[in-house]
Amino acid sequence: MNYLYNHGFLHVLTNARRHLSNLGLVEFGYFPNKPFILTYDNTTLNFSFLISGEGNYQINGRRVFVKAPCVLVQKPGDHCQYGPLKNGKWEEFYFIYEPDELCRYRSSNILQSDEMFWPIHNFFAVENCILALTDAIDSNQPADVIEQLCETLLVTSKMPKQVDHQDKVISSIRDLAMSIKQDCHQPLNFWTLAEQMGLSYSSFRRSWIMLYGVSPKTYQMDVRITKAANLLISTDMPVSVIAEQVGYSDPAYFSTLFKKRYALSPALYRKSYDATLPSEYLGPTRPSEDDTDIEREQQYYR
197 has a pLDDT exceeding 90: no
Task: Show Cβ contacts of residue 15 under 8 Å, excluding neighbours closer than 6 positions.
Answer: 298, 300
Contact 56, 85 (CB under 8 A): yes
**Residue 194, φ and ψ in degrees, nearest 5:** -65, -45
Share of the chain above pLDDT 70, in %: 85
Decide: 121 and 160 in contact? Cβ < 8 Å.
Answer: yes
**How much is the average pLDDT of 245-255?**
93
For 70-123, the pLDDT digits (tens) are: 999 999 999 999 999 887 778 899 999 999 999 999 988 888 878 899 999 888
pLDDT tens digit string along 18-67? 777 778 899 888 888 888 889 999 999 999 999 888 999 999 999 999 99
Task: Tell me the per-residue pLDDT of 166-191, one tens digit each, with 9 for 90 and over.
Answer: 467 888 888 899 899 888 888 999 99
Whether 227 has a pLDDT exceeding 70, the answer reads: yes
3-class DSSP string for 136-162: HHHCCCCHHHHHHHHHHHHHHHCCCCC
Instruction: For residue 25, list its beta bridge partners.
Output: 97
Domain 9-158 CATH class label: mainly beta
Residue 302 has pLDDT above 60, yes or no: no
